[in-house]
Chains A and B, each alone.
Chain A
Amino acid sequence: MVATQLSRLSPMFISSKFHMSESFERWLKYIPISVLTALIVPEFFEQTSGEFHINTNYLISGIVAFCVGLWKKNMLLTTFVGVICLASLRFLA
């Protein structure tokens, strides 16, 4: 919690001290998308006795959610469809 507080406040104080270069700003723009993408990749795998396997249910739901997201550009709908898809895959299995 202390760490998160610091990370939130430190940019505020530093930002007034130095001028950010334009290319650094441009690099920063790509941080949210790459962090979020990197975070979800392991979610589609499961580990059993040291080996990684693709979790098919998750993968299918992820692809469906991705397509709906691209189509509708609606975050809530994407979440909802992904969840419903996984629930129905589990129900059918």
Chain B
Amino acid sequence: MYGKSLLSQARTALTQKQITPLTLAMPIMMGYAPIAMTFGLLTYQQHLGVWTALALSTVLYAGAAQFAILGLLALSNISLGQVFITVFLINLRHFILSLAYIPNTKQWSFFEKLRFFPILTDENFAVLLTNSEIKKDPIQAYRVSILTYSTWAVFTLIGYGFASLIPDPKILGLDFALSAMFIGIIILFIDRLEQSITFIAAILFMLFFYFVLNCGRFSVILAAILASFVGWGVECRRKSS
């Protein structure tokens, strides 16, 4: 009788009560590790220092924007202003995430918000919202974020160290890794007609600005802004019809 209740207690603990920040962070950490490693690897291939890799991963800490910076640096003279605008545009969605998360932080102190929001990512946001208790607990929610944040930094370094062991990246086709990775990310974004149209529009605008008008690196910003307007326009039109 006693043994049975103990067993059922343990089962309850395992199924319900054991949701800790680590349980929530684990899937994100597993997802981040290989991406962060890829980032470290690519940073090495762009002949950037290990401190640059670490700084980008700790200060910027934004997957897509970090890869975009590598992409921008890969091509010739690029101004700081262009890097700034590109990163700013990609990170603008953190706006929306932070904004959407604010209702959960009503009881938090200013310091608790200040340490939580700078390291909020899309994945943290999504996972935290699945747990009604942890998302409102400033310490628990921060733990989820700091776990994924550390994973990102540590695996950036591992990837960087791993890359220095590879003799010639060209033989292995690794110079294509960044573009291939972008293609992989782009496809994950394409889930509706509007996204596909945006994708095609971005290609066409880019070809026009880069090759016809010779706008150089500034073409990226122009094409991105215009293509987003196309996607947005199509969405508005479909909604109204």
Q: Give A76's nearest chain B residue, CB to CB.
A: B34
- Other-chain residue from A9, A70, A84 in contact with B173 (beta carbon distance below 8 A): A84
Distance from B220 Cβ to chain A, minimum over Cβ atoms (Å)? 5
Interface residues on B, range: 35 or more
Contact A8 B60 (CB under 8 A): yes
In the complex, number of A-B residue pairs with CB atoms less than 8 Å apart: 230
Q: A9-B118, A61-B180, A85-B173 are in contact. Are A31 and B90 (CB under 8 A)?
A: yes
Q: A25-B96, A26-B232, A78-B184 are in contact. Are A7 and B189 (CB under 8 A)?
A: no
Q: A33-B202, A38-B206, A83-B172 are in contact. Are A7 and B183 (CB under 8 A)?
A: no
Chain A residues with CB below 8 A from B173, complex form: 61, 82-90
Contact B194 A30 (CB under 8 A): yes
Determine the main DSSP class of B at the interface with A. Answer: helix
User: How far apart sit A15 and B62, CA to CA, in the bound complex (Å)?
Assistant: 18
**Interface set, chain B 139-173, CB cutoff 8 A to A:** 170-173
Chain B residues close to A by CB (< 8 Å): 34-35, 38, 55-56, 59-62, 64-65, 68-69, 71-72, 75, 80-81, 83-84, 86-96, 98-99, 102, 117-118, 170-190, 194-195, 198-199, 201-203, 205-207, 210-211, 219-220, 223-225, 227-232, 235-236
Beyond A38-B205, A75-B35, A82-B177, 11 additional contacts (C-beta under 8 Å) are A12-B98, A33-B231, A34-B198, A34-B228, A35-B64, A36-B185, A37-B203, A43-B178, A61-B173, A73-B188, A79-B180
